[in-house]
Chain A
Amino acid sequence: MIAELFIIFIGVVLVNNFVLARFLGLCPYIGVSRDLKSALGMGLAVVFVMTMASAVTWVIYYYLLAPTPHNVWFLLWGDGVDPSAFDFSYLRTIAFILVIAALVQLVEMVITKTSPALYRALGIYLPLITTNCAVLGVTVLNIDIFFKAGEPLAGSFIKCLVQGFGAGIGFTLALVLMASIRERLDLADIPPALKGAPIAFIIAALMSMAFLGFTGLI
């Protein structure tokens, strides 16, 4: 089990890195990677939200959306034999968006109250996570990978948590790497036409290719 979790973690951080291999969450990857400090803040906020979202969406999918004998609606109105009429997995996207939006709002409130310093450091990046496709991506992929025909695989809840956490770490890794490179780019001798975003795109492509080297690691 531990080995399996470790493989999931390494897989999602390096091999299937959300930014560099799956190309999710590219907006903050370019937008918030100008300096290291804010990149790190943004990354940590994403780690937190992704882990929480993974946990909550697993519960919602398992008990409300999937056509399993545990489905709450099936238990209430079903005939006790065939749960297939209670397949609400088509509501997955809208339900998960709700979860993520509410979660980010709640996290923002808690941080405002408990740690104003952290709130000031994160600033606008916190609300930005609401619409970050990487967060929705990780919850949807959790369901795709760890549920078979609506029925969860063994230990899928903890696996979802690890994948969510790992995806956040992978996102942070990509963001921090990019920010460190871009901080140096500011002082480098670059053709004027390529300054700023153009050179950042070239670097992003190079980094993505570099991460291809992890293919086949697991």
Chain B
Amino acid sequence: MTAILAAVFTISGLGLIFGLGLAIGSRIFAVSIDPRLEKIEELLPHLNCGACGYGGCSDCARALLEEEAEPAICPVASPETHREIAELLGKILEEEEKTTARIFCRGGYDAARRYLYEGIKTCQAANQIGGGVSACDYGCLRYYTCQKVCPFEAIGIDDRGNPVVDPELCRSCGLCVRHCPRDLIRIVPSKSEVDIRCSSRAKGKTVVKVCAVGCIACGKCVKECPVEAITLEDNLARIDYDKCVNCGKCIEVCPRNIISRV
């Protein structure tokens, strides 16, 4: 009989001691957590893409709470979410403009290659050997690292081998921008519809040799533009999105078919 009692007391006693120990421990080592932290975390998209620069959404919520980051830091969350976060933190949010990523190269399968590349299938690796595998010093390497890193599957490949961003799916987190070793991707305002899809700063003669769809800086679009939104700089035409009215007149005059509507 005593043996049974002792066994019962042993286990229940151990349970009791540990339980009490933990209860006391939780009092001594209690960490006060701001209730807003949980709310902010709920508002964030839970994608842990890291586009904000913090290690995941919960880390971003902590940074927001400690006022390390601005309410609009999450590039993925919608403007409404940004407003809600700002409200929760007692801040006022400035109006923001919707943006999207855009890839500035249309070389595709037509663009010449320097050599046959059999290495690691990432753009970073392909860019490091002999000045990069694409014959154009500025063109897309076509190992589609941007597509692989996109957490929203917003980047697809068109029939000519060019990566294209779907503006509907893109949430301009900027991951692809950071991963492109040739800086071909930029975040642009969504309202702009017409753009010059080339990044080559090489002279016209060099461009013609390596690519059928490269900007040769002829200047026709600059002359055609009714609002003077296009400028030539370093052998490359660029559109000023603030001035552009999306009329599309430049599309028709471009001899190299680089300018297109999204």
Instruction: Judge whether B45 is part of the interface by a CB distance below 8 angstroms.
Output: no
Asked if B120 and A112 sit within 8 Å, CB to CB, the answer is no
CA distance A95 to B31 in the complex (A): 29
Residue on A with the closest CB to B120? A187
Instruction: Judge whether A86 is part of the interface by a CB distance below 8 angstroms.
Output: yes
CA distance A99 to B22 in the complex (A): 12
Asked if B14 and A95 sit within 8 Å, CB to CB, the answer is yes
Asked if A73 and B6 sit within 8 Å, CB to CB, the answer is yes
Given known A-B contacts A102-B22, A110-B29, A88 and B7 have beta carbons under 8 A apart: yes
State the Cβ distance, B66 to closest chain A Cβ, in Å. Answer: 12
Asked if A109 and B25 sit within 8 Å, CB to CB, the answer is yes
Asked if A98 and B14 sit within 8 Å, CB to CB, the answer is yes
Q: How would residues 99 to 125 of chain A score, 1 for a CB under 8 Å from any chain B CB and 0 otherwise?
A: 101100110011011101000100000
State the Cβ distance, A116 to closest chain B Cβ, in Å. Answer: 8
State the Cβ distance, A87 to closest chain B Cβ, in Å. Answer: 8
Q: How would residues 7 to 40 of chain B score, 1 for a CB under 8 Å from any chain A CB and 0 otherwise?
A: 1011100110010011001101111000000000
Q: Considering only CB atoms and an 8 Å cut-off, how many residues of chain B contact the other chain?
A: 20
Instruction: Judge whether A85 is part of the interface by a CB distance below 8 angstroms.
Output: yes
Instruction: Judge whether B2 is part of the interface by a CB distance below 8 angstroms.
Output: yes
Instruction: Judge whether B3 is part of the interface by a CB distance below 8 angstroms.
Output: yes
Asked if B31 and A73 sit within 8 Å, CB to CB, the answer is no
Asked if A95 and B6 sit within 8 Å, CB to CB, the answer is no
CA distance A130 to B114 in the complex (A): 57
Asked if B18 and A98 sit within 8 Å, CB to CB, the answer is yes
Contact partners of B21 in chain A: CB under 8 A:
102, 106
State the Cβ distance, A194 to closest chain B Cβ, in Å. Answer: 18
Size bracket, chain A contacts: 20 to 34
- Residue in A91, A99, A102 whose CB lies within 8 Å of B10: A91
Instruction: Judge whether A60 is part of the interface by a CB distance below 8 angstroms.
Output: yes
Given known A-B contacts A77-B6, A91-B7, A106 and B14 have beta carbons under 8 A apart: no
Instruction: Judge whether A174 is part of the interface by a CB distance below 8 angstroms.
Output: no
Instruction: Judge whether A65 is part of the interface by a CB distance below 8 angstroms.
Output: yes
Asked if B6 and A109 sit within 8 Å, CB to CB, the answer is no
- Residue in A86, A94, A120 whose CB lies within 8 Å of B6: A86
CA distance A43 to B21 in the complex (A): 26
Contact partners of B28 in chain A: CB under 8 A:
113
State the Cβ distance, A115 to closest chain B Cβ, in Å. Answer: 11
CA distance A213 to B51 in the complex (A): 47
CA distance A110 to B15 in the complex (A): 20
Asked if B10 and A65 sit within 8 Å, CB to CB, the answer is yes
CA distance A110 to B22 in the complex (A): 11
Instruction: Judge whether A138 is part of the interface by a CB distance below 8 angstroms.
Output: no
- Residue in A73, A110, A112 whose CB lies within 8 Å of B2: A73
Instruction: Judge whether A64 is part of the interface by a CB distance below 8 angstroms.
Output: yes
CA distance A85 to B6 in the complex (A): 11
Asked if B22 and A60 sit within 8 Å, CB to CB, the answer is no
CA distance A110 to B26 in the complex (A): 9
Asked if A73 and B10 sit within 8 Å, CB to CB, the answer is yes
Given known A-B contacts A106-B25, A110-B29, A187-B120, A99 and B2 have beta carbons under 8 A apart: no
Asked if B11 and A94 sit within 8 Å, CB to CB, the answer is yes
Asked if A112 and B11 sit within 8 Å, CB to CB, the answer is no
Asked if B14 and A109 sit within 8 Å, CB to CB, the answer is no
Asked if A112 and B14 sit within 8 Å, CB to CB, the answer is no
Asked if A95 and B11 sit within 8 Å, CB to CB, the answer is yes
Given known A-B contacts A95-B14, A109-B29, A113-B29, A88 and B6 have beta carbons under 8 A apart: yes
CA distance A191 to B172 in the complex (A): 35
CA distance A101 to B163 in the complex (A): 52
Asked if B2 and A77 sit within 8 Å, CB to CB, the answer is yes
CA distance A113 to B26 in the complex (A): 10
State the Cβ distance, A15 to closest chain B Cβ, in Å. Answer: 33
Q: How would residues 100 to 134 of chain B score, 1 for a CB under 8 Å from any chain A CB and 0 otherwise?
A: 00000000000000000000100000000000000
Residue on B with the closest CB to A71? B6
Asked if A102 and B31 sit within 8 Å, CB to CB, the answer is no
Contact partners of A77 in chain B: CB under 8 A:
2, 6
Can you name 26 A-B residue pairings with CB atoms under 8 Å?
A: A60-B14, A64-B14, A65-B10, A73-B2, A73-B6, A73-B9, A73-B10, A77-B6, A85-B2, A88-B3, A91-B10, A94-B11, A95-B10, A95-B11, A98-B15, A98-B18, A99-B14, A99-B18, A102-B18, A105-B22, A105-B25, A106-B22, A109-B26, A112-B31, A114-B29, A116-B31
